[in-house]
Each structure stands twice: as C-alpha cells, then as structure tokens.
Amino acid sequence: MPDILPAGTLHDAAILAEARPPAARVLLDLWRPLRALAALLCFSFLGPFAWRQDFSHIDARAVLSAPSWAHPLGTDVLGRDELARLMQGGATTLSVAAAAAAVAFVLGLTYGLCAGLGNAWLDRALMRLLDAVLALPSLVVLICFSALMQANDTAMALLIGLVAWPPLARLVRNEAAALRHRDFILSAQQLGAGPAYIAIHHICPAMGRLLAVNATFLVADAILSLTSLSFLGLAIQPPRTSWGQLLGEGVELLALHAWWLVVPPGLLITASLFAADSAGRALLFGRKSA
C-alpha cells in the first residue's frame, strides 16, 4: 500500500473526511432544532411587519386588559400591547445574545489557540489563569459590572461575551494541543507555514464541528445571561424591552394575577434556550438525538 500512494495522501484525505462532514449532512442535522429557532427569529424580526402595533404606544384606557381581539396577549400596566412588546423584546434579546456569543467565540478561540499551540510555559500560565477565571461566579460578576456601566446594547454584548468565553477556551486548547502533533500539521510546518497560518488554515477547519457545537452552546449561555440580567432590571433599559425585562415586569404584578404578562415571556425564554441547546446537541450527536 505505501508504494502505490504518496505517503500522507490517504491519511490526510481520511482526516479531511472525518473533520468536514458534507454540507448537506450538517444542514439535515440542523434542520429539526433550527425550525424552532427559525420560528423564534421570524416572530421577533418579521412579526412587527404583520402585527403593526407600536410597542411603546401608551393607552391609558386599556391598562392591564386581559387578552382580547384588539390585544391578543393583553396589555401591560401602561396599556402597551404585549404582543408587540414581545416581538420587540425578542429582536433585542436574540440580537444582543448573538453579538455576545460572537464576542465570546472570538475570545475563547484566540485564547485557546494561544494556549494549545504556544510553548509549554505559556500554556501552563494561561491555563492556571483560566482556572482562576472559571471559579468566579459569572452571574455575580455580570451583576456587578452592569451596575457600574451604562447599559446600552453594545456594552451589554461585550460584557456578556467577556464573561462567557472560558469554557470554550479550555475545549479549544485541549483540541489544539492534541492536533498539533498530527502528521498534516507537521507537514505544513515542514513546508514553512507560520503558526498563525497553521492555526487558521489547518487547526480551525479540523475542529469545525467542535466549534459549531460550542458556538450554539455559547448562544444559549448568552441568552441565559442576558435574560437573567434584564429580568433583574440591569441590562436593557426602558423604553426598549427584552424577554427577561418583560418577565420581570410581570413578576412585579403577580399579585394582580395578570398571567398574560408572565406566561408568554417565560415560555419564549424557555423555547429559545431549548432551541439553541438542542441545535448544539444535534450537531454533537447527530440527527437522532435532537
């Protein structure tokens, strides 16, 4: 066998096949969990085109009215239409969470690659620091920093991203440290490729699935952090709103039994977390588990 094929060809082809599942397969894996996510995205971003009520329009004659034809999900304490508010809140929640996940993804990937591909002492120092960071309670850190700063969307996305990256960094580091001694990396090094080139063109594609899985988990994590913070009134400020903030407003009115202010945002938060989580699971274990 080794005489027929040039050394390494078969091996590299096998690695590529293992590392990159066909695009169609990935799409098939993702379709079921992504249906839920697509529905939530449509609700939040396309919904306002179908349901043309202003989410911030105050109507003093319809304060806390129960669901009706005019207001399918009722109105809040200022008479604002709850359905329109849920749509606007969804757009804010999902876009800020996606931005936060992107920040965490870039940070975690860079940190993990530096640790996994750098020399031994750099690796050790970075991993010790990572352990120390991982031990901090992230929600407490988030509460503290969000009390200190102006809570606009960009700042929120940066803050949540800055807190969410450590688990990804550890995974990337372990994977990169395992990959760096494989034949295809060594041969790239022999050909004169620098560390940055190898990291971008060889290591990252080889752990594509790991990155995709953890990107979806990061989105779930960011949604959880953002909804928790805005539930506590520390993230998205009025007049704009988010699912967490809507739920928080509903909780303050629990004594009035305004269930329509509590159940829909709670279910939407749960559904978005479930969708992001199951997309990750489907990527990780294949279609069956979704």
Partner 1 sequence: MRAACGRMAARGAEAAASIILLVTLTFVLAHASPGGPAYAIMGLKVRPDTVAAVDHQIGADTALWLQYLTWWKHLLQGSLGTSYLLNQPVTGLLLGYAGRSLLLQVSGLGLGVILTLAGGIAHGKFYDTRFGRLLGAIEIMFYAMPGFVIGTFLALLCAGLLPSSGIADLHHAAPSLADRLRHLLLPALSLGLMTYSGLARYLAEGIAAELRLPYTRTALAKGLGPWAILSRHVLPNALRPLITLLGLSLPALAAGSVAIESVFAYPGLGWLLWRSALSHDYPLLIGGVLLTGLATILGNLAADMVNTILDPRRLYA
- Footprint of partner 1 on this chain (CB under 8 A)? 128-129, 131-133, 135-141, 143-148, 224, 227-228, 231-234, 247, 250-251, 254-255, 257, 259, 262-263, 266, 269-271, 273-274, 277
To the nearest whole angstrom, how small is the minimum distance from the Cβ of residue 232 to partner 1?
6
To the nearest whole angstrom, how small is the minimum distance from the Cβ of residue 193 to partner 1?
34
To the nearest whole angstrom, how small is the minimum distance from the Cβ of residue 130 to partner 1?
10
- Which C-beta is closer to partner 1: that of 117 or that of 160? 160
- Which C-beta is closer to partner 1: that of 164 or that of 198? 164
To the nearest whole angstrom, how small is the minimum distance from the Cβ of residue 214 to partner 1?
18
- Which C-beta is closer to partner 1: that of 63 or that of 139? 139
Q: How far apart are the first and last CA of the chain?
A: 41
- Which C-beta is closer to partner 1: that of 191 or that of 255? 255
Task: Report whether 240 contacts 209 (CB < 8 A).
Answer: no
- Which C-beta is closer to partner 1: that of 91 or that of 262? 262
- Which C-beta is closer to partner 1: that of 63 or that of 136? 136
Q: What is the per-residue DSSP string for the chain?
A: -TTTS-TTHHHHHHHHHHH---HHHHHHHHHHHHHHHHHHHIIIIIHHHHS---TT---GGGTTPPS-SSSTT-B-TT--BHHHHHHHHHHHHHHHHHHHHHHHHHHHHHHHHHHHHS-HHHHHHHHHHHHHHHTS-HHHHHHHHHHHS---HHHHHHHHHHHH-HHHHHHHHHHHHHHTTSHHHHHHHHTT--HHHHIIIIIHHHTHHHHHHHHHHHHHHHHHHHHHHHHTTSSSPTTS--HHHHHHHHHHTGGGT-GGGTHHHHHHHHHHHHHHHHHHHHHHH-GGG-
To the nearest whole angstrom, how small is the minimum distance from the Cβ of residue 48 to partner 1?
24
To the nearest whole angstrom, how small is the minimum distance from the Cβ of residue 227 to partner 1?
7
